[in-house]
């Protein structure tokens, strides 16, 4: 069997989430932009990968171009040589860098190759990674964004009523917009901080004491700001404080770590196993949250998880995009002992059904992985054609 084509798709799907039309998630006409990879073989088996990135417009187009260029170099290769192709994709790019767009491109291709391998062997991918260690996967998710504290509390209750036992909010977004592009000085006003504490307290009050309440700082704060912010949030018994400082300085993370009591989770901006070593060696986080579509794919998430296991650190994969992201991570997690919970972009994922062949099986906040071969979910080419943007239609 040989790889016959590798093609990127950028689709914009009508999205029913009640949230603003700005920021990295939605286009101005309230569509969600997602980036997929299709790998075809000369024997008619197709694999799917996802690598949706942020900020939507520039990030997805950059990575889509890279998939196209790198993909052309892989035509004629044996799609079962997953490990070798991963190394070729990373090592051939070391002068460009081995993280970010490079590891994302490698991820998209790796996920699609595992999908093909599972389909060839008629096995779900987790059966090729050691088999199941669990029968379901606990999820956590987000309520819609709002600057209204009463609304935030009601939305959090809606998530809990869907059966989820954990949810995540960024209550600082009232004052500081979403996204790393907004980082200037790492500060937030005193009022912004107090508003964040008040929203967190209101959500805690609404959902009760036993729901895990996760706070995402989105890597936006300097050291003293992150410490002050977290000390106020701790009053609401938060479960973890995510990405308190920008990713570039583990020294800054260490300083925050030393001065707060809350558990820390990092990893959505940490790529490949090598970047996690210092996190483990210096004890900088209680949880790691690599994103399978950015950190290096199925091959790499499995290795990072095993590395974390040797330090007794649980893995809680990041996942804020589409169904291939969720199912690829789920396949790894099915075979991973040191798992905490898996992130999805919202509690109601039915918008995915506009372009996949079978809905994700989510019941009471748990994802069930079927014995369908490969990733267990396929994209519908006709739907992709309908939602694709010009220039990136496969």
Per the residue annotation, which of 126, 142, 164, 218 is the catalytic one?
218
Active site residue 318: yes
What does the per-residue mask of binding to Mg ion show for 343-382, with x meaning CB under 5 A?
----------------------------------------
Q: How far is the CB of 103 from Mg ion (least distance, A)?
A: 17
In whole angstroms, what is the distance from residue 118 CA to residue 139 CA? 24
Residue with the closest Cβ to Mg ion? 216
For Mg ion, the closer of residues 266 and 375 by Cβ is: 266
Helices and strands counted in the chain (H then E): 13, 13
Size of the site for Mg ion (CB under 5 A): 1
CA distance 82 to 88: 10
Q: How far is the CB of 289 from Mg ion (least distance, A)?
A: 7
Looking at the Cβ atoms of 119 and 346, the one nearer to Mg ion is 346
- Report the residue number, 50 or 216, with the smaller CB distance to Mg ion: 216
Q: Which of 110, 115, 155, 216 binds Mg ion (CB under 5 A)?
A: 216
> Smallest distance from the beta carbon of 214 to Mg ion, in angstroms?
9
Within a 10 A sphere around the Cβ of 253, how many other Cβ atoms? 25
Of 14, 274, 24, 37, whose CA–CA distance to 170 is shortest?
A: 24
Contacts with 281 (C-beta within 8 Å, 6 or more apart), sequence order: none
Site string for Mg ion, 162-201 (x = CB under 5 A): ----------------------------------------
Q: Which is nearer to Mg ion, 119 or 318 (CB)?
A: 318
Contacts 24+ apart (CB under 8 A), 125-132: 125/298, 125/328, 125/331, 125/332, 125/374, 125/375, 125/376, 126/330, 126/331, 126/332, 126/334, 126/335, 126/369, 129/298, 129/302, 129/331, 129/332, 129/334, 129/335, 130/335, 131/335, 132/334, 132/335, 132/369
Rounded to the nearest whole angstrom, what is the least distance from the CB of residue 62 to Mg ion in the complex?
Answer: 21
Segment lying near Mg ion (by CB under 5 A), choices 13-21, 122-130, 208-216, 252-260: 208-216
Q: Can you tell me the distance from the alpha carbon of 40 to that of 51, in angstroms, rounded to the nearest whole number?
A: 17
Please, what is the minimum distance in Å from the beta carbon of residue 216 to Mg ion? 4
Which of 177, 199, 176 shows the shortest CA–CA distance to 189? 176
Is-catalytic flag, 182? no
Question: Residues in the site for Mg ion, rule: CB under 5 A?
Answer: 216
- Which residues are part of the catalytic machinery? 218, 318
């Amino acid at each position: 069997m040989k790889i016959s084509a590798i093609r990127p798709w950028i689709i914009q799907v009508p999205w029913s989430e009640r949230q603003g039309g700005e920021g990295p998630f939605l286009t101005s006409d309230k569509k969600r932009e997602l980036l997929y990879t299709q790998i075809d073989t000369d024997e008619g088996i197709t694999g799917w990968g996802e690598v949706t990135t942020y900020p939507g417009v520039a990030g997805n187009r950059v990575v889509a171009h890279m998939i196209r260029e790198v993909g052309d170099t892989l035509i004629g290769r044996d799609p079962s040589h997953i490990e070798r192709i991963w190394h070729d994709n990373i090592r051939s790019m070391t002068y460009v860098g081995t993280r970010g767009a490079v590891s994302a491109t490698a991820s998209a291709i790796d996920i699609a190759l595992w999908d093909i391998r599972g389909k060839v062997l008629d096995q779900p991918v987790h059966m090729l990674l050691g088999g199941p260690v669990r029968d379901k996967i606990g999820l956590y998710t987000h309520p819609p964004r709002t600057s209204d504290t009463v609304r935030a509390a009601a939305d959090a209750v809606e998530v809990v009523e869907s059966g989820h036992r954990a949810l995540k909010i960024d209550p600082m977004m009232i004052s500081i917009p979403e996204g790393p592009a907004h980082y200037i000085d790492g500060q937030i006003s005193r009022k912004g901080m107090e508003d964040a504490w008040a929203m967190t307290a209101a959500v805690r009050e609404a959902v009760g004491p036993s729901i895990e309440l996760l706070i995402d700082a989105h890597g936006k704060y300097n050291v003293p700001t992150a410490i002050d912010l977290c000390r106020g949030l701790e009053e609401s018994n938060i479960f973890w404080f995510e990405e308190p400082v920008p990713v570039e300085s583990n020294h800054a993370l260490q300083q925050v770590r030393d001065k707060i009591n809350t558990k820390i989770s990092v990893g959505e901006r940490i790529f490949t196993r090598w970047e996690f070593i210092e996190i483990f060696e210096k004890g900088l986080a209680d949880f790691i949250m690599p994103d399978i579509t950015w950190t290096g794919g199925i091959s790499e998430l499995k290795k990072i998880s095993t590395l974390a296991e040797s330090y007794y650190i649980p893995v809680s994969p990041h996942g804020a995009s589409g169904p291939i992201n969720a199912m690829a991570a789920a396949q790894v997690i099915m075979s991973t002992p040191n798992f905490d919970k898996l992130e999805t972009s919202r509690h109601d994922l039915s918008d995915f059904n506009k372009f996949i062949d079978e809905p994700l099986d989510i019941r009471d906040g748990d994802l069930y992985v079927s014995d369908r071969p490969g990733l267990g979910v396929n994209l519908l080419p006709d739907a992709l054609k309908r939602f694709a943007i010009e220039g990136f239609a496969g």
